[in-house]
Chains A and B, each alone.
Chain A
């Protein structure tokens, strides 16, 4: 008999015998299920956070930062420059014929959580005129837009529900003077961070600053980005760089994602280790309970390699349903669920690619857990095994 045929026969035999050893089978399946379930749900946090951060990103939007700035916080654009860049080519014009190039400044302010009353810092964005042209997804749900020159601000609905004094009509003290909350908005998705907009020039004077952080522009089409970059290059007076919105959003997420992924894989690995040991133990018991059967087979001419191969395949086959159930449970329990582990909120997303990661993880567990029992199955001396009770 060929090697392959022997393996297939042995595998079929052991699979047929599985219903009699349901407890041991379940141990492997449940262990793998838990390990994969936890790994997939934790990774789903990272995927969800990434997805949410990129949800509003449009290919036809870009930001101008000062040369060499890695993030808006390090960038500084003088008021005069912000006026100059309005005339660059490739920038779309609003209904009133104005170029959609909106200067933005961000300052750090503090708010208190409604529930715990703990203070949380977050950036307040100062925007120049044309905010609604640049961000058409911004929809006021209460009140009105802030007016230029006045100490007025609008806050996202998340702010209003999570933090004190952000509902329309509230007043709050920022930088020693009173600001009025005149409206609330949402951004067409459940935005996870508290976003507060106010007039850029009012913020500049209130915080004693004289330059913006960035200028956000709406492009005529995604393709005109190169046109814009060329024009900036041709004008040495402009010390700015154009960046795609997607690029900045991704850079912004990098750190949080790094932590999330590290924690996920760390916890996932430890759990997988426990599940692998559990699987190894139950496979040992499975092999032990079939000692005489296996010895008989080897006595009638089955070789050691097919015994090893069939036991390994059995282990992997047992791990597979665990992976599917684990990923399925993660999807059922957590997909779309809101989490806010790093001060901003997002929804967990269990995707097919995550399921694939879970399956690969499970296969490794099956393979490693099955290795020693498989070798043992093939190496027990036939005479000893046959004599055993």
Chain B
């Protein structure tokens, strides 16, 4: 530690050069952080998704919705623990571009535990929804976007008509929910009973069922059993666990592994080479100074450590800056790849990688500095 001032002053011998090396390493590690964060973020997001909840939807897109009566039959499938369902109403608020989706549910206690894959809700909010037929729970985002508050009465316009022929659906905001990345579109939660009683068409049908299975390992088998149950009915079902659906969605990114690995190695090779030559150049320019150090009694090992410490300092600082930069960029990339994250492992791998690259790149110039012949160096030979 007492050599720190020495290292520090050596670092700023050529401030321009050090700054450029810092910048270069930071950019490289920002790229590493983005790519790796994308990968681990996806893996983590999939891990978090519940494997024991099945989404049971229509087998063919665009077909008639599923009859509500399926619920009892699903309950009887062995391995099924609990069943609930959801429907939806797509509407707009004021302008046609202000799309709001109303998720219609039965406010049962099951929604308290189905979190956080769909939305999080507090018991009192759920209770409020149960008490008010036209009630709605809103997210903070949609509330901010349209200036809605608890107690407000809003009206959505939808192509789903009411029995009286009107496309206007009033709602009373009674509470809040926290949603799970529904994106930019507005999202509110309302009562299924309100939707089903009021609508003119598709009465007694739902969009999908949510099925909790007792053993996550048997989720696939239970899903197949449910699909078999309705195979010969008017509307077939397609069941898949949340985890499996998430995996399918993320497939495309997971397969980019190959590209990520090759990019990261190319970056590291270029980096090692570039910084090694820069350090070499610096050592060459500093030969007389290093010779003086050795003359006043610094050993070969100490000189090596001094030179290596300089590189390490630059690398670790730059790597951390780069990773921080990647974190800042995540919200921007979120539009293309949801669920980006920078777990501790990525930071650890990054810093470890920085230390390794620093040591590799400093090995040749460092040894050269350590084995300097004092007499020749001072004579300028």
Assess whether B277 is interfacial by the CB under 8 Å rule.
Answer: yes
Look across to chain A and name the residue whose beta carbon is closest to the beta carbon of B244.
A119
**Known contacts A30-B269, A175-B59, A274-B270: A282-B255 contact under CB 8 Å:** no
**Across the interface, which residues of B come within 8 angstroms of A284, CB to CB?**
16-17, 20
User: In the bound complex, do residue B60 and residue A119 qualify as a contact, i.e. CB atoms below 8 Å apart?
Assistant: no
Inter-subunit contact A342/B252 (CB<8 Å): yes
- Given A34-B267, A119-B240, A274-B27, also A282-B252 (CB < 8 A): no
B259 at the interface (CB under 8 A from A): yes
Q: Are A341 and B24 in contact (CB under 8 A)?
A: no
Contact residues in A for B30 (Cβ distance below 8 Å): 270
A window 115-168: CB within 8 A of B: 118-121
A274 and B236 within 8 A (CB): no
Q: In whole Å, how far is B218's beta carbon from the nearest beta carbon of chain A?
A: 15
A188 adjacent to chain B (CB < 8 Å): no
Q: How far is the CA of A42 from the CA of B248 in the complex (A)?
A: 23
**A-B interface pairs (CB < 8 A), number:** 128
* Nearest-CB residue, chain A, relative to B380: A389
B231 located at the interface, meaning its Cβ lies under 8 Å from any Cβ of chain A in the complex: yes
> How distant is the Cα of A82 from the Cα of B254 in the complex, in angstroms?
41
Give the contacting residue for A280; candidates B20, B273, B277; CB below 8 A.
Answer: B20
Given known A120-B251, A341-B252, contact A278–B24 (CB-CB < 8 A): yes
Q: A271 on the interface (CB 8 Å rule)?
A: yes
A336 at the interface (CB under 8 A from B): no
B228 at the binding interface (Cβ < 8 Å): yes
Residues 338-379 of A, flagged 1 when their CB comes within 8 A of B and 0 if not, give 011111000000000000000000000000000000000000
Q: Verify B31–A270 contact, CB threshold 8 A.
A: yes
Tell whether B280 is near chain A: CB-to-CB under 8 Å: yes
Contact A175 B20 (CB under 8 A): no
Interface string of A257-276 (1 = CB under 8 A from B): 00100110001001101110
Q: Select which of A38, A118, A259, A282 is within 8 A of B274 by beta carbon.
A: A282
Tell me if A277 and B27 are in contact (CB < 8 A): yes
A277 to B28, CA, bound (A): 11
The answer to whether the Cβ of B278 comes within 8 Å of any Cβ in the partner chain is yes
A122 to nearest B CB, angstroms? 11
Is the interface on chain A under 10, 10 to 19, 20 to 34, or 35 or more residues? 35 or more
B266 touches A34 (CB 8 A): yes
CB within 8 Å of B: which of A234-283? Answer: 259, 262-263, 267, 270-271, 273-275, 277-278, 280-282
Contact B278–A281 (Cβ < 8 Å): yes
Q: Which of the residues A275, A289, A339 comes within 8 Å of B270, measured between beta carbons?
A: A275
Which partner residue on chain A sits nearest B227 by CB separation?
A: A176
The verdict on B72 contacting chain A, using a C-beta distance below 8 Å, is: no
Interface residues of B in 1-56 (CB under 8 A from A): 16-17, 20-21, 23-24, 27-28, 30-31, 35
Contact of A277 with B20 at beta-carbon distance under 8 Å, contacts A42-B259, A343-B255 already known: yes
B336 CB contacts on chain A under 8 angstroms: 259, 262
Known contacts A23-B281, A176-B227, A284-B16; A34 and B270 CB within 8 A of each other: yes
Q: Does B182 contact A (CB under 8 A)?
A: no
Interface residues of A in 275-315 (CB under 8 A from B): 275, 277-278, 280-282, 284-285, 289
CB distance from B161 to the nearest CB of A (A): 24
- Known A34-B267, A208-B60: A27·B277 in contact at CB below 8 Å: yes
**B60 surroundings in chain A (CB, below 8 A):** 107-108, 207-209
Q: Evaluate contact between B277 and A274: CB separation under 8 angstroms.
A: no
Chain A facing B: main interface SS: helix
Task: Let me know if A8 is at the binding interface, CB within 8 A.
Answer: no
- Residues of B in contact, count (CB < 8 Å): 47
Q: Which residue of A lies closest to B243 (CB)?
A: A118
- Closest chain A residue to B35 by CB distance? A267
In the complex, the answer to whether B17 meets A281 with C-beta atoms within 8 Å is yes
Chain A stretch 18-63: residues in CB contact (< 8 A) with chain B: 23-24, 26-27, 30-31, 33-35, 37-38, 41-42, 45
Q: Is the CB of B20 within 8 A of A281?
A: yes
Binary interface encoding of chain B residues 255-297 relative to chain A, with 1 for a CB under 8 A from any of its CBs, else 0: 1101100110011011101100110110000000000000000
Q: Which of A69-124 contact B (CB under 8 A)?
A: 107-108, 110, 118-121
- A205 on the B face (CB < 8 A): no
Given B35, B232, B262, B273, which contacts A27 in the complex, CB threshold below 8 Å? B273
B17 closest partner in A (C-beta): A281
Are A282 and B277 within 8 A (Cβ)? yes
Q: Which of A33, A120, A274, A341 contacts B28 (CB 8 A)?
A: A274
Q: Which of A202-248 contact B (CB under 8 A)?
A: 207-209
Can you pick out 20 interface pairs between chain A and chain B where the beta carbons lie within 8 Å of each other?
A: A23-B277, A38-B262, A41-B262, A45-B259, A107-B60, A108-B60, A118-B244, A119-B247, A120-B251, A176-B231, A208-B60, A208-B234, A259-B252, A267-B35, A271-B267, A278-B24, A285-B278, A340-B255, A341-B259, A342-B252
Closest A-B pairs by Cβ, 7 of them: A176-B231, A34-B270, A278-B274, A23-B277, A277-B24, A281-B20, A27-B277
Using CB atoms and an 8 Å cutoff, list the residues of chain B in contact with chain A.
Answer: 16-17, 20-21, 23-24, 27-28, 30-31, 35, 59-61, 63, 227-228, 230-232, 234, 236, 238, 240, 244, 247-248, 251-252, 255-256, 258-259, 262-263, 266-267, 269-271, 273-274, 277-278, 280-281, 336
Residues of A whose CB lies within 8 Å of any CB of B are 23-24, 26-27, 30-31, 33-35, 37-38, 41-42, 45, 107-108, 110, 118-121, 175-177, 207-209, 259, 262-263, 267, 270-271, 273-275, 277-278, 280-282, 284-285, 289, 339-343
Given contacts A38-B266, A110-B238, A207-B59, 9 further A-B contacts (CB under 8 A): A26-B277, A34-B266, A121-B248, A176-B230, A275-B270, A277-B20, A277-B23, A278-B274, A342-B251
